[in-house]
């Protein structure tokens, strides 16, 4: 990696599984997928890998689902809007500047300093709307 940090085999595998899923994936689901090839893998191993990937801006935590998704703008820390489909469980990352700017204005008015901003919106994606 360009930042002088190491993508160990377990970190690489966790990142690969998250990116290949295209849906929010929970830590224990990652563990279940990794255990067949790395029997010694423990929950702490997965959580350390997730923490690393979060710090590097390669994934996002979906707080409402207690799960993780790949970051389409990886490599930089940024604010985002996550659109979460309640039917198919896909998560779409959007960088909606008007929404984020309005939120920044509101925070400034409230004299509140945000440490991290992620808006999560749950509903039906376009594909699921067309199947109902």
Please check whether residues 13 and 53 belong to one and the same domain.
Answer: yes
Shared domain for 91 and 60, answered yes or no, is: no
Indicate if 48 and 98 belong to the same structural domain.
no
Residues 20 and 59 occupy one common structural domain: yes
CB under 8 A, 24+ apart: contacts of 76-82: 79/103, 79/116, 79/117, 79/118, 80/118, 80/119, 81/118, 81/119, 81/120, 81/121, 82/118, 82/119, 82/120, 82/121
pTM of the model: 0.83
pLDDT > 70: percent of the chain: 93
Over residues 91-105, mean pLDDT: 89
Tens of pLDDT, residue by residue over 67-78, are 999 987 765 557
> What range does the domain containing 93 cover?
80-129
């Amino acid at each position: 990696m360009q930042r002088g940090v190491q993508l160990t085999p377990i970190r690489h595998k966790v990142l690969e599984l998250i990116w290949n899923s295209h849906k929010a994936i929970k830590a224990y689901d990652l563990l279940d997928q990794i255990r067949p090839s790395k029997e010694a893998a423990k929950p702490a191993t997965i959580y350390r890998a997730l923490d690393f990937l979060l710090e590097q801006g390669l994934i996002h935590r979906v707080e409402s689902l207690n799960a993780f998704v790949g970051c389409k703008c990886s490599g930089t820390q940024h604010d985002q809007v996550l659109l979460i489909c309640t039917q198919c469980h896909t998560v779409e990352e959007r960088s909606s500047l008007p929404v984020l700017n309005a939120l920044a204005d509101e925070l400034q008015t409230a004299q509140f300093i945000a440490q991290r901003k992620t808006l999560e919106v749950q509903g039906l994606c376009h594909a699921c709307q067309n199947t109902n």
